[in-house]
Structure 1
Amino acid sequence: MLKGGNALLARVPEARTARDVDLLGRVEDLDDAQRELELLVSEDLGDHFTFALSRTKDQGRGDAQPYLVGRRLVFDTPLGTKKRGPISVDLVVGTQPIGQIRSRKPQDILGLSKLPNAVYQLHPIEDHIADKVCAMLESHAGGMPSSREKDLVDLVIMALVDDEWAIEAGSLRQALRIESRRRKLDLPDRLVAPSSWGSGYASQVKQTAVQGFATVEAAMGLMRDFLDPVMAGVAAGRWDPRSRRWG
């Protein structure tokens, strides 16, 4: 199942570019998940690409999501006799998502007639949002706030895109509660960005097609409508990205 930045790009081609591929294994054992992935990438699609596993690095249980066990796999990708850049895959196992898993054709396909395109299994949008929110809320060594200003960029994109996601307030609230409990966080009634944020967000949002939310202040104004009612437990129904209201 595709997670992270590439899952967002599959829904919104104008989102931030992502270097690594983040995958969630459907099995509990990391070695089993790796074997399954290696089997899948060995399939010949007739595109002359091959994927050769060159190295791995166990990432253990991360500080942010200690309930997940991860491993980075780096594949060399020769195309015929030519070498292409390596592909890094961050593979994790350990939990299953709260929201509905959706299968869809990616929106960022190349559109080449001779290149087959697969349907992606995407990490549920509710879980994706909950992951971003909790990453913003976390403190790190010495009480330092999160520096992941890119997470706010992603939340703005998810709030604005008129798609078939149909984000439900109840499902999102449940995902937020479970993700915060997993990370041992107290879920507040509203989202607050660290006071140090500003330049990083501005730089990251320029890489997207987002307009009208060039500053952290503007982005947090949108979050007041999008996330604060859910976090406070007063939102109901579905999110409408056009009116920017729940109902």
Structure 2
Amino acid sequence: MKILVPVKRVIDYNVKVRVKPDGSGVDLANVKMSMNPFDEISVEEALRLREAGKASEVIVVSVGPQQATETLRTGLAMGADRGILVKTDEITEPLAVAKILKAIVEAEEPGLVIVGKQAIDDDCNQTGQMLAALLGWSQGTFASNIELGDETADVVREVDGGLQTVKLKLPMIVTTDLRLNEPRYASLPNIMKAKKKPIDEKTPEDFGVDITPRLTVVTTTEPPAREAGIKVASVTELVDKLKNEAGVL
């Protein structure tokens, strides 16, 4: 069975995001980029399933500019077998990405697609669900554990009230949550090996997908600066402020 893992190139989570002076978007100039953290978890889970004998091949896919090749190389260095880059310099919304992934799934015929539950740049949390709808496949979102069987899988989902376990039929879509696993670090030998692993380059036009954005960003603003706290002289004053000013008591 093949496992397909979409990965996204985003601003590194350790970097402070800066808004462009004209408010047209986020400044990406000279900013460190890396793989979306939830996608690292997806790659790790796919590799663990392959190591357990549940899968024969792990394919990483990215939709983005030529620089997204670096993100794919990261997945290959972790242990993925090959990569597919759908090259475009345009902004791609979740629905367009889902349509591209649908075409790739139909071509590659994987038995499982593992997607990060959301990207840390737009926080949409939509691609996995849209892909499942387009394919008509089962879906297990916010997964914190996956037990893969021959024709079904038990997926433990993190929900508001706790944990929910669902049994799904293969093929299926899974979106990963933080507690699913701890991604491995790529060793130097594997980083060198990744340079020789194949990456197939495609374009959205190859799949007949129109990626024209349906949404227009009107403006982007930074959150308001956090105000300094104050010191209180006594517990009585603290309770008074919590009750009369903050309104939490």
Q: TM-score, normalised by structure 2?
A: 0.25
- Greater radius of gyration (CA): 2
Q: Identify, as 1 or 2, the structure richer in helix.
A: 1
- Which structure has more relative contact order (CA 8 Å, sep 6+)? It is 2
Q: TM-score, normalised by structure 1?
A: 0.25
